[in-house]
Homo-oligomer: A and B are copies of this chain.
Amino acid sequence: MTSTNTQFTFEITHSSDECSGRTGLLSTRRGKIQTPVFMPVGTQGTVKTLSPDELVEAGAEIILSNTYHLYLRPGTDTLDHFGGLHKFMSWERPILTDSGGFQVFSLKTMNKISEEGVTFASHIDGSRRFLSPEEAMRIQNSIGSDIMMVFDECSPYPIDHEKAKESMERSVRWAKRCRDSHPKMSRGQALFGIIQGSMYHDLRAESLERTAEIGFEGLAIGGLSVGEPKNIMLEVLDNLVPKMPPEFPRYLMGVGTPEDLLSGVERGIDMFDCVHPTRIARHASVFTRNGRIDLSSAVHALSDLPIDSSCSCFACRKFSRGYLRHLFKAGEILALRLASMHNVRFLICMMEEIRNALKNGIFIQYKNEFLSKYNNREQ
């Protein structure tokens, strides 16, 4: 597998002696991204509740947006009119877009899968829509994302070996069609392949081999964090990642709890994304070094403490848990903003620390100390 996209390079800056973890630098046409990286998710062209400036302040070097959602609304005509998503949403740094595959197969709007693509009903207005490898490339071209993903079939969990194999093979054929319709260096947009195969190591290995053979600028692991037990996900990673070519960025899709970030980095993953931090924030749940806390709880009513005293985010610099609790109880939008801002910053800060720990050869110590405090939950 080789890449000749000179507007997109990946350099490994340090490889750990303790584990499979490594630090790196992704260079895109819109700027550099230090890895391992957590990418906040802006499903509909905005990371929920946050402004682009706040994402920059949180240290986000790249965000993720969703082909499926942007295709349905505002649509490619609108995106083309505005010159792509970056200008539309006023975000100048890199954007990665998923291909819509995951949403088409998980939002239960599926209607008919054929070798050609998927016909489904829009969750917004019920209109009949069609996504295919070529269509997903076209849409991601309109979005103008810096890293595009191939259109794949995301298997549900559990799935038997035969069905998983069929699905994986279709994903490989679709990946080839994506590559064919988006040649290397086209518009400066990188294209990542996605490895499927559910929990079956032989299928994962075959998917990896055949996907890598097509030739992409990076490889993602799809179909995990879809309901399987945690140990299944870790076993897949333990088995699969060592076989992945080290010179390409490795992206574990849809994974982003603090525990999973540590597990993934240790096994050699470079990129993560998840709606988790912003979704739980809107339900008053925020990360602290001592575990997650529920800001709506009465125990915080008279607390002068910030959410996390080691955090540098706007919410922690300016407001007490007591005030945040009041805002949540009163149903105020500022509560959702401050909690989201904190959770995003918390994970990005964690990744900064992880990169430093890797470089300093103390990642395992960092991980153990982090988890020891995080799981202790003494406030």
Q: Which residues of A contact B (CB under 8 A)?
A: 44-46, 48-53, 69, 73-74, 78, 81-82, 88-90, 301-302, 304, 314, 318-320, 322-323, 326-327, 329-330, 332-334, 336-338
Using known A-B contacts A78-B301, A327-B46, determine if residue A333 contacts B336 with beta carbons closer than 8 Å. yes
Complex Cα distance, B335 from A333, in Å, reads 12
A44→B330 contact, CB < 8 A: yes
The docked-state distance in angstroms from the alpha carbon of A46 to that of B338 is: 12
Question: Chain B residues near A301 (CB, 8 Å)?
Answer: 74, 78
Given contacts A51-B337, A337-B337, contact A322 B78 (CB under 8 A): yes
Question: How far is B329's CA from A69's CA once the two chains are assembled, in angstroms?
Answer: 12
Q: How many copies does the complex hold?
A: 2
Closest to A282 in B: B333
Residues on B with beta carbons closer than 8 Å to the beta carbon of A82: 302, 304, 320, 322-323
- Tell me the complex Cα distance, A333–B341, Å: 13
Measured between beta carbons, the chain B residues less than 8 angstroms from A46 are 327, 330, 332, 334
Complexed CA–CA distance, A338 and B337 (Å) = 13
Interface centre among A73, A74, A320 (most CB of B within 10 A): A74
Determine if A318 and B90 form an interchain contact, defined as CB atoms under 8 angstroms apart: yes
Q: Which 6 A-B pairs have the closest CB atoms?
A: A44-B330, A49-B333, A74-B326, A90-B318, A46-B334, A81-B302
Q: Which of B74, B78, B330, B333 contacts A333 (CB 8 A)?
A: B333
11 other contacts beyond A48-B334, A50-B334, A88-B323, with CB at 8 A cut-off? A44-B327, A45-B323, A48-B332, A51-B337, A53-B314, A73-B330, A74-B301, A74-B329, A78-B302, A78-B326, A82-B320
Task: Establish whether residues A49 and B334, one from each chain, have CB atoms under 8 Å apart when the complex forms.
Answer: yes
> Chain B's nearest CB lies how many Å from the CB of A316?
12
Assess the A326–B51 pair: CB atoms within 8 A. Answer: no
Let me know if A90 and B44 touch, CB within 8 A.
Answer: no
> With A74-B301, A301-B74, A327-B46 known to touch, is A81 a contact of B333 (CB < 8 Å)?
no
In the bound assembly, the distance between CA atoms of A364 and B173 in angstroms comes to 72
Contact residues in B for A304 (Cβ distance below 8 Å): 82
A332 (CB) vs chain B CBs: closest residue:
B46
Report chain B residues within 8 Å CB of A78: 301-302, 322, 326
Specify the chain B residue showing the minimal Cβ separation from A81. Answer: B302
Task: Name the one of B52, B322, B332, B337 contacting A318, with C-beta atoms under 8 angstroms.
Answer: B52
Cα(A369)–Cα(B310), bound, Å = 53
Complex Cα distance, B326 from A88, in Å, reads: 10
